[in-house]
Amino acid sequence: MKKKIVVSGMRATGPIHLGNYFGAVKNWVDLQEHYDGYFFVADWHALTTDYGDPSAIARNSLEVVADCIAAGLDPERSVIFLQSLVPAHAELHLLFSMFTPLGWLERVPTYKEQIRQIENKDLATYGFLGYPVLQAADILIYRGDMVPVGEDQASHLELSRELARRFNGYYGDTLPEPQALFTPAAKVPGLDGRKMSKSYGNTINIADGPDEIRRKCMSMFTDPARVRRDDPGHPETCNLFQLHRLVSPPDVRERVARECRLAQIGCVEDKKLIADLLIAFLEPMRRRREELMRDPRGLLELLQRGSKRAAVRAEETLGSVRAAMSLDYERLFAERTE
Ligand code: TRP
């Protein structure tokens, strides 16, 4: 039986952190087992916000790939590639843009939210409004069955499905509607308790070494209701304990929860403990990514090979799309000679 196809991308905004890992990459790694994976670095999507200074995007793209491979993505099993090396995404995006109603894009919640939140960049651009159209092209160009993403991408996925339907409605059945495969909300809090995010500067990265991890863990916010060492703590509302849920063996986690509630373990002690656990968890990945980053040319070649494989399937789709939209000019003559 043919395996189903999963497609997912990661914006090239910098080295990946625990939030990216638990929210996306770990899922991709697990899916490789049963699906044909198309996983890519979305460098054009990074450009929708960083167009004013795109100088870091190429380097970030390589960092993202190194992190993903270090985390277990396997370039033999999955197609790992760079969005901008598969120009078919751009052509499909252009064709989609012809029939995408503006209202659909203006209503996307992430759009409204980012326009409001990001103040230092002018996001009132054509490209930024079209972000989800490009994402739809990324997915539909591979006729993807499943798209593993976090809940925050739900509206983008819905738009991809609506664009597939609209395309099929105008031009005939060509593009299957992809299903969202939402990552079981692995909420990863950042050092300050807000969602872990590069833009908040509260991340722990795969690239962080032991000293860095210790320093960051010591600065973590813990249970705000536990003011003194002998106050009982509340693991269920403590950031730090969320990390135990992700990386600690069950017996350690249960002991910490119990001792915290009884004020037997203090926050400082617990920070040291979580630092050690995180170091043990991340160290093999960090070493592997460091090794990969020593040969950036090799990483680029890996992406070039992956992009060639991706382009084969993308061109197939584009062929049907052009034909459906009456853009296959050869056909004009083929019909006449029949
Ligand atoms: N918008 C996605 C994010 O920010 C990244 C992305 C771009 C993507 N293209 C995609 C995800 C296609 C899934 C499929 O996380």
CATH number for the domain that contains residue 142: 3.40.50.620
Ligand 1 center from residue 275 Cα (angstroms): 31
3-state secondary structure (DSSP) of residue 270: helix
Average pLDDT over residues 172-200: 88
For residue 312, being part of any structural domain is answered with: yes
Same domain, 287 and 305: no
CATH of the domain at 269: 1.10.240.10
For residue 109, being part of any structural domain is answered with: yes
For residue 99, being part of any structural domain is answered with: yes
Contacts 24+ apart (CB under 8 A), 108-113: 108/132, 108/155, 108/156, 108/159, 109/155, 110/152, 110/155, 110/156
For residue 126, being part of any structural domain is answered with: yes
For residue 198, being part of any structural domain is answered with: no
| Percentage of the residues of the chain whose pLDDT score is greater than 90 | 86
Instruction: Among 153, 155, 199, name the best residue to mutate to test ligand 1's pocket (greatest count of ligand atoms within 8 A of Cβ).
Output: 153
CB 16 less than 6 A from any atom of ligand 1: no
pLDDT category at 157 given cuts 50, 70, 90 is very high
| Percentage of the residues of the chain whose pLDDT score is greater than 70 | 98
Question: What's the pLDDT score for residue 126?
Answer: 97
Ligand 1 center from residue 9 Cα (angstroms): 5
What residue owns the CA closest to ligand 1's atom 6?
A: 9
42 Cα nearest atom in ligand 1: 7
Same domain, 244 and 133: no
Ligand 1 center from residue 291 Cα (angstroms): 27
Into how many domains does the chain fold? 2
Whether residue 4 is predicted with pLDDT greater than 80 in this model: the reply is yes
Whether residue 338 is predicted with pLDDT greater than 70 in this model: the reply is no
Question: What's the pLDDT score for residue 336?
Answer: 61
CB 8 less than 6 A from any atom of ligand 1: yes
For residue 197, being part of any structural domain is answered with: no
Ligand 1 center from residue 273 Cα (angstroms): 34
Question: What's the pLDDT score for residue 186?
Answer: 65
Residue 11 CB neighbour total at 10 angstroms: 22
Same domain, 165 and 77: yes
Same domain, 248 and 329: no
Same domain, 180 and 213: no
CB 18 less than 6 A from any atom of ligand 1: no
Q: DSSP for 242-259?
A: HHHHHHS-HHHHHHHHHH
Contact present, 15 and 70 (Cβ < 8 Å):
no
Same domain, 124 and 219: no
**Domain that includes residue 242, residue range:** 208-291
Same domain, 72 and 181: yes
Whether residue 1 is predicted with pLDDT greater than 80 in this model: the reply is no
Average pLDDT for the chain: 94
Residue given tokens 């119990």 in the structure block: 258
Whether residue 42 is predicted with pLDDT greater than 70 in this model: the reply is yes
Ligand 1 center from residue 267 Cα (angstroms): 37
Same domain, 219 and 247: yes
Same domain, 39 and 62: yes
Span 93-113, pLDDT tens digits: 999 999 999 999 999 998 998
For residue 254, being part of any structural domain is answered with: yes
Span 206-246, pLDDT tens digits: 999 999 999 999 999 999 889 899 999 999 999 999 999 99
Same domain, 148 and 217: no
Q: DSSP for 285-329?
A: HHHHHHHHHT-HHHHHHHHHHHHHHHHHHHHHHHHHHHHHTT--T
**Phi-psi group of 29: left, alpha or beta (phi > 0 → left; psi -120 to 50 → alpha; rest → beta):** alpha
Same domain, 141 and 242: no
Same domain, 286 and 304: no
For residue 193, being part of any structural domain is answered with: no
